[in-house]
Amino acid sequence: MTAEKLFAEKGIEGVSLRTIGLVAGQGNSVAVQYHFKNRAGLISAILSWRWVRIEEHRKQLLIALLEEDRKIELADLIRTLTFPLLDVDCKGDRNHFVRFLMHYLTSSDRWSNETSYGVRAWFTPFHNQPNNATIELLDLIAKELPHIPQPYIGRRLTHSLRMMMGTVVYWENAATIRKNVAPLEVLIEDQISMIVAAMSAPVPQSSIDRLPKVIEALKSGQAP
């Protein structure tokens, strides 16, 4: 997808709809704006298109995990939640969706969509898509972390995802300039261990005291 690739390379704010249309070979310079109205509409279309396949993959992983005859650990749930986001079709030596998603998660477009405040706020942009597997996974993660207020679980998941995507981008960049790069699977498993530790860490009392203000800010559509 041309738009996803350009957003991945230049950032969400770094490319205009007109440029996307021209690179895509549209003769009409306003064709993209006509179809998607604005940048937010185009981003929503990209996320929705990707989400269908991601959710199906996540569903299959969750079914397989729940069928295993053993105790499910937080690390298992984190893998099941995040791996489908990393394992998308990519051509060439770069995973454009991962790079696009990294930019999106730190863009103003992402924050303008954050109006929920529970653990399920993690996937706010996808509320209009089928999310049964994602909802079940988020609820299972919350049950593993009863000592962490749900708004902070959602926030920590977002930070953890950025960390994991950063590892993928680092590995791709490093692999282009040298051959002795550790296997991506090894780096990702190390990230999983770090994420489990970070997700489980106690929330400082000062943050807990501020929680009502955080929820109120999110309800009003303002990032705290």
Does a structural domain hold residue 17? yes
Statement: residue 92 has pLDDT above 50: no
pLDDT at 128: 55
What distance in Å separates the CA atoms of residue 97 and residue 208, rounded to the nearest whole number?
A: 34
Q: What is the pLDDT of residue 91?
A: 45
Does residue 68 fall inside a structural domain? yes
Q: How many domains are contained in the chain?
A: 1
CA angle (156, 162, 163) in 5-degree steps: 85
Q: Residue 103 belongs to a domain with what CATH number?
A: 1.10.357.10
User: Once rounded to an integer, what is the mean pLDDT over residues 63-88?
Assistant: 92
Q: Could you list the residue range(s) of the whole structural domain that residue 62 is in?
A: 2-219
pLDDT at 154: 85
Q: Which amino acid is at 24?
A: A
The confidence score (pLDDT) of residue 44 equals 85
Task: Kindly report the average pLDDT of the chain as a whole number.
Answer: 81
Least confidently predicted of 44-58, 153-167, 169-183: 169-183
Structure pTM?
0.81
